[in-house]
Amino acid sequence: MAHAPVPAAASHCSYMVLMEKAAFNFRTSYVKSTEFYDTYNGKFPLVMNWRAGRLACEVAQKDMRSYACVSSHSVCVNVTSTNAKPGYRCMCSDGYEGNPYITDGCQDIDECLKAANMCGTGICENTPGNYRCSCHPGYYMTNGVCVSKSKNVAIPAMLVVGLGVGCGFILLSLVFGVLFIKHKLKVLRAKKLREKFFEQNRGLLLEQLVDKDIAERMIFSLEELEKATNKFDEARMLGSGGHGTVYKGILSTQHIVAIKKSKNTIQREIEDFINELAILSQMNHRNVVRMFGCCLETEVPLLIYEFISNGTLSSHLHVEGPQSLSWRDRLRIAFETASSLAYLHSSASMSVIHRDVKSDNILLDDHLTAKVSDFGASRGIPIDQAGVTTAIQGTFGYLDPEYYQTSRLTDKSDVYSFGVILVELLTRKRPNSFRSSDSVSLIAKFNLLMIKDKLFEILDPQVLLEGAPDVEVVAALAATCLRLNGEMRPTMRQVEMRLGRLLGTESNTRHEINDEQNYASFQISNDEGINCSRSFPR
């Protein structure tokens, strides 16, 4: 509120003015002179922030008795005061003007009465809240402008059709041209990528192979394998494991093969596949799955094996029902598996530790002949070394506890895993799923019952019926393989010979005499607290 005297000509009194606070800066001269009046020429800036009601529109519209926007074609607008309190004002809708606070106060604006014709040279027709344009006879509307029809040039219908067909053909040609170029570029990129992977994987493979010619003899193209598997159709999938998915394939030569494809493209998977390829390409044993070749044109190589049609030992052993593999078949499969592991440990140019021996990795053919497979986790160890320290790999339930605790991998790690398989053959129970009332593992339960001379409680009834007296010997052999101290376990060659004698199979290796003599040191003794029952039910 400003207060100052006015000029004598205007009044003999002082005056007060309501004005905008931000526009006023007080001076003492304003009190005794007309300076303030003269500065603003008697006109003072005023801002009035007002509202029709103290409610927001949404709330005010619910009470029509106090709602201020009573005119039709009016709208409510929310406003906020300087103290942030809600309120509203009324306005006429677009196309209307007047007083929105009285009944029918908002009236239609006749746009056609404005000095400038809203429709240019056309006809303006007022409508409620708007207007509509049309053209005089002989004219037509295009882009809001009236154009004389006489200016149109008649175009022959055939020409119009011809132009349409021509434009369509050109457009279609462009589309097909773009698609063709994209396809060619895609094919070219795929070819270059295959070449890159081929050279990369071939280099890794040659680093590990002793015989460099093997790599050249075993290579398949990606195109051939895609045809063999119908582009890796899910219907061709045989199974999936920790190191990849296996598909059934039919080569152009009509040979049926198993093709292993990695699930991941991480560096470890690449190294595992190259490792498996390098190991299997140098193996030659009737109980080791045979490798036909590989494809190096993918980031992780594809491996091609002989097709083993009869599933895994696990699938045969753990079928529903009381009957499974006969005891004679189980004993022979154990012998063949032991033979292959003994070969890996001692007969190859470099000792190979499988590192994932389990019933799922023992395949059976139509004659139930065992074939050890899945060498992705395998590790080669020079003959002059007893073992290596390496990262833990394997399957719980089959994993050597000494290897798990120390990370020290030796051939005795495979011996322990084989001992678990012997227990699995004896009991028909899965080592990684067995639970008793006190949650003791299968191997712990087996050893405990051996000590208590009650092993028959855990044995498969079919084994008790068919296997005596061999069962006692196999159980004792399993116990030696499962010793916690790896040095106290037998070698796989000794295990092979012991099982061979049970089968009546003579071993022809030059190690037979020494190994048979040394086996005595691994026999179960009462001093160790593990006994084999001498009174199995007959």
pLDDT score of 203: 56
Q: What is the pTM of this model?
A: 0.59
pLDDT confidence bin for 54, thresholds 50/70/90: confident
Q: Residue 268 pLDDT > 60, yes or no?
A: yes
Mean pLDDT along residues 45-60: 80
Asked about 366 being catalytic, the answer comes back as no
pLDDT score of 374: 86
Radius of gyration of the CA atoms of the chain, in A: 47
Domains of the chain: which residue ranges? 2-39, 57-136, 188-307, 311-538
Please tell me the distance from the alpha carbon of residue 159 to that of residue 397, in angstroms, as a whole number.
83
pLDDT score of 8: 53
Query: According to the per-residue pLDDT averaged within each range, which of 81-90, 223-232, 329-338 is highest?
Result: 329-338
What is the token pair recorded at 48? 């009035």
Residue positions forming the annotated binding site: 261
pLDDT score of 330: 96
pLDDT score of 156: 65
Mean pLDDT along residues 380-403: 86
What confidence tens digit (pLDDT) does each residue in 458-481 have? 999 999 998 778 899 999 999 999
Beta bridge partners of 363: 312, 371
Inter-CA distances, 394 with 74, 276, 362, 378, 413, Å: 79, 15, 15, 10, 10
Which of residues 531 and 115 earns the better pLDDT score? Answer: 115
Residue positions forming the annotated binding site for ATP: 261
Query: According to the per-residue pLDDT averaged within each range, which of 43-57, 203-217, 304-318 is highest?
Result: 304-318
Could you say which of 272, 329, 356, 414 is catalytic?
A: 356
Q: Residue 239: name the closest of 257, 225, 258 by CA.
A: 258
What confidence tens digit (pLDDT) does each residue in 487-534 have? 999 999 999 999 999 998 644 443 443 444 444 444 444 333 333 333
Instruction: Report the CATH fold assignment for 188-307.
Output: Phosphorylase Kinase; domain 1 (3.30.200)
Q: Residue 178 pLDDT > 70, yes or no?
A: yes
pLDDT confidence bin for 262, thresholds 50/70/90: confident
Q: Residue 537 pLDDT > 90, yes or no?
A: no
Residues 339/503, Cβ–Cβ less than 8 Å: no
pLDDT confidence bin for 183, thresholds 50/70/90: confident
pLDDT confidence bin for 278, thresholds 50/70/90: confident
Neighbours of 229 (CB within 10 A): 20
Mean pLDDT along residues 226-248: 86
Mean pLDDT along residues 158-182: 84
pLDDT score of 15: 64
Percentage helix, strand, coil for the chain under 3-state DSSP, each rounded to 5: 40, 20, 40
Domain spanning 311-538: CATH superfamily = Transferase(Phosphotransferase) domain 1 (1.10.510.10)
Q: Residue 37 pLDDT > 90, yes or no?
A: no
Please tell me the distance from the alpha carbon of residue 313 to that of residue 335, in angstroms, as a whole number.
13
3-state secondary structure (DSSP) of residue 259: strand
Residues 377/393, Cβ–Cβ less than 8 Å: yes
pLDDT score of 531: 39
| Segment among 26-30, 244-248, 451-455, 532-536 with least mean pLDDT | 532-536
Q: Residue 396: name the closest of 418, 382, 410, 417 by CA.
A: 417
Tell me, letter by letter, the H, E, C secondary structure of 34-83.
Answer: CHHHHHCCCCCCCCCCCCCECCCHHHHCCCCCCCCCCCCCEEEEEEECCC
Residues 53/88, Cβ–Cβ less than 8 Å: yes
Q: Residue 92 pLDDT > 50, yes or no?
A: yes
What confidence tens digit (pLDDT) does each residue in 184-211 have? 888 888 777 777 766 666 655 555 554 5
CATH number of 57-136: 2.10.25
Beta bridge partners of 154: none
pLDDT score of 457: 92
pLDDT score of 380: 81
- Beta-carbon contacts of 446 under 8 Å, excluding residues fewer than 6 positions away, are 423, 426, 427, 455, 458, 478, 479, 482
